[in-house]
Amino acid sequence: MKKSLIPALLLACVVALSGCTTGSSKTSGGTEEASQFLYYDFNDIVVPRDMKLKDSFVLGTGAERTGFLGFSGWVDSRSLTANTISNMQRDGWSLRFQFISPRTLLLFTKPDKFAVINITDGATNTELEVWVAPRRDNVGLEKPILDTPSMAVPGDITIKEEGLVN
């Protein structure tokens, strides 16, 4: 019981001390098409005005801003996906990966950050999740830490360069 309470208290302290934001928004521009979209906590990611903010957890400022925004709305998931890709590229993001299905996953990058967009087509509405985090290139990514064989058996993982072997 004590061990599970400590991480929760630590997370609460981090949130309280870092100044968690709560979904502020501004319009994306002056044209009629642009006014259909809003910027929320990230000034380079627009969301359709028809999507309503449900959840928000954003920390930091500037290039170090990281967090999650969750939206829900009665929009077509295919048009949401197409508009998201178009608008993200217009705002300087590069599309690196896409998996389009009833649950669509999009990965975008910029030189200093990345964004993961999850669009889920529900029975009555569409859910949109936006995850943004700063990039940490060249931080412990030169070599894999775990050497996992293709047919790994539990307890049969070798940890490289750390001096520990199971």
- The total of structural domains in the chain comes to 1
Count of positions (residues) in the chain: 166
In a domain, 31, yes or no: yes
Residue 102's domain comprises 20-159
In a domain, 50, yes or no: yes
CATH number at residue 54: 3.30.310
In a domain, 123, yes or no: yes
Interval 56-112: pLDDT, tens: 999 988 778 899 999 999 999 999 999 999 999 999 999 999 999 899 999 999 999
pTM: 0.63
- Residue 54 contacts residue 83 (beta carbons within 8 Å): no
Q: How many CA atoms lie within 13 A of 131 on its CB side?
A: 8
| Contacts (Cβ under 8 Å, ≥6 apart) of 12 | none
- Residue 27 contacts residue 35 (beta carbons within 8 Å): yes
